A and B are shown apart, each in its own frame.
Chain A
Amino acid sequence: MFNYEEGHMTTANTLLKVQELSISFETFEGRANVVADASIEVARGEAIGLVGESGCGKTITAKAILGTLPQPPAKIGSGRILLAGTDLLALTPRERREFARHFSFIPQDPMSSLNPVFTVGDQLVNVVLWRGRPDFGLGRYILSRRQRAEVNQAILESNEMLRKVNIPDAERILSSYPNQLSGGMRQRVLIAMALLGKPSMIIADEPGTGLDVSIQDQILDLIKSRVSEEDISVVFITHDLGVARRICDRIYVMYAGTVVEVAETRFLFASTKHPYTMGLLQSVPKVTGKMGKGIPGNIPDYYHPPQGCRFHPRCPHRMDVCDKQRPPLQQLPEEKCEHKVSCFLYQESV
């Protein structure tokens, strides 16, 4: 599957391929170049992590993949998003909606992501009824809600899915309103909702972040088991390296809209290369009682991003070349598996 010379995955098993995506925002203050040349590849059935601090462009990238980026103010400058070979950015909005069924989204905040005036059952049934029908229309929706058989089938399916996400008394949950459920339960309902869409890919935006450790642990286990059983690819957006380590096969570390390091999870943690990833790892408080220093400075201003490597103003290993050229994302020659770094420290030509 892995091609050593080329340093990238072969395309046969690739589900999603984001190539050199650039996204900017037009605002009154000028143009903010948020995402710059981000490339991401996801194989079928693989869980990848997009890791980075807030404001590093991970959610924007995910929204671009989902097609929910508000344009304007956002503008996709260049790049391609290929889903199984089809460029999503070249499609008309109508064709794009056809492709929407391939994706599901698990939002970050379980408290505000469910509609408070409908029961959980109603919301899940709607997902089933609209599934794979981008042009279903309100009229046909109202008609189908009156077809008892179709609705009953949808309720059965929702019920079964709630059991799959470890909700024991599914009947009660189906007839309750979101405010009657705890955070962990709501997060489970959102996962069930995402799975009910029968997607080929789930984009999870920091699920479980607002929950307690023991509940977060249950949610991560759940996502992991569901995903491997149903062979769905996952893009897992998180700022927590520990969480990414638990759940992801490969990790993309993002800084200021660029991918700075990519590696299989165990290699990323065993031999961290990029100074930003190192700084991030050091800042995480450890249970062994060792706590390193944080990274000095702040994330750059996107209206005037630093020239060359975007990390160079905060980098402890800064060299002369760093503020002139942007380092390309290159495979490390000494590593057998995929491990790409965008840093001049590891490039022989410099």
Chain B
Amino acid sequence: MAQDLLEVKGLTKCFPVYSGIIRRKVGEVRAVDGANFTLERGRSFGLVGESGSGKTTLGKMIAGTYMPTGGSIVFDGVDVTNAIYNRALKRRIQMVFQDPASALNPRRRIRDTLLDPLKIHNVGSGQAREKLVIEMLERVGLSQEFQYRYPHELSGGQKQRVAIARAVITHPDLVILDEPTSALDVSVQANIMELLKELQSEFDLAYVFITHNLSLVRNVSDKIAVMYLGRIMEYGQTDAIFMNPKHPYSVALLSVIPTVSDEEEKFLPELMKLSGEIASPVNLPKGCRFHTRCPKRFDPCDKIEPEPTWHDGHELRCHLYTADSLPRAAPIGN
């Protein structure tokens, strides 16, 4: 087996909660709690979950904008957990944000925006950089006169193309895409996804794809993790999870996807409705974090938190699958 590009082990991020006049620390929000996964070079990993499930926090830790509280991140064989000021590393891990309108500086022309990463990482010089910018613009489907425009002169899809160009121009190994298309129309979204796929095979990029749109993740990811309140509830190959979801939360999420054809409807698991809303991350429910909304909860669910177990190629945190006969979770990557 080829060496994994990214290996995340027990990654945890806690945000302190302050209260009172002297801003005393009264508690903490465990935004991400013990996340494990691996990602091979040139592959895509999808992180799905509702808002507040910690998927963006996890992405930001990998990108190096948040310092993890615990756990480790191994990137290309090197432990980079605390290397958030490592510039050479940042060249290799880039990020694309959700809202292209606010991710680009409105006062700078597109070429200035695209030249920045080259200057920061000392790629090429003068003319060579300008040539690279033009090449990259054409690669993402924009003609070269776009380099003299300002972001407000571009449509949403074009802005996102620029944002992608900015991320890919330094030839990174890993790109973190935080809801890259949720601000765009479906027809534009399809074009952007097409572009991302082309770039992936051309530059051998690995993607961490953060989204709440399950149908989209199905089309782009090799592996996915379903997150709920900071925990990865189910983790495995995309096909395995979509064909045969195990965790009640994944089943429920899949069953309510709005579909556009009967063929798709047949594909979905039997309808399972969730009641209520995501619990507060400050006062986490005891036991399994999902038990307050789970239609299949039973005796141990509100007392003991399930440990991850392997079951049919899925890694699950659910008491339905933690019978004693099942093996304990193998460490990821072995």
Q: Please list the residues of chain A having a beta carbon within 8 angstroms of any beta carbon in chain B.
A: 53-54, 182, 184-185, 212-218, 221, 239-243, 245-246, 269, 279-296, 298
Contacts and interface: CB of A to CB of B under 8 A. Distances in A.
A71 B317 CA distance: 57
Q: Which 9 A-B pairs have the closest CB atoms?
A: A242-B258, A294-B190, A283-B190, A294-B191, A212-B50, A217-B256, A295-B187, A53-B185, A285-B215
B189 interface: yes
A24 to B, nearest CB: 22
Nearest to B271: A217
A285 B157 contact: no
Interface string B199-221: 00000000000001111101100
B263 interface: yes
B264 A279 contact: no
B74 interface: no
A167 to B, nearest CB: 12
Given A53-B187, A242-B259, A285-B190, 8 more contacts: A213-B257, A217-B256, A217-B273, A285-B215, A286-B261, A287-B259, A289-B218, A290-B219
8 contacts: A242-B258, A245-B260, A284-B260, A287-B264, A289-B219, A289-B242, A294-B190, A295-B187
Interface of B: 50-51, 155, 157, 185-194, 212-216, 218-219, 239, 242, 252-254, 256-264, 267-268, 273-274, 277-278
A294 B197 CA distance: 14
Contacts of A218: 273-274
Contacts of A184: 277
Contacts of A241: 186, 260
Given A240-B258, A287-B257, A289-B219, A214 B191 contact: no
B274 A287 contact: no
Nearest to A282: B190
Contacts of A286: 215, 218-219, 259-261, 264
Contacts of B262: 269
Contacts of B194: 293-294
B261 to A, nearest CB: 6
A282 B258 CA distance: 15
A280 B186 contact: yes
Contacts of A243: 258
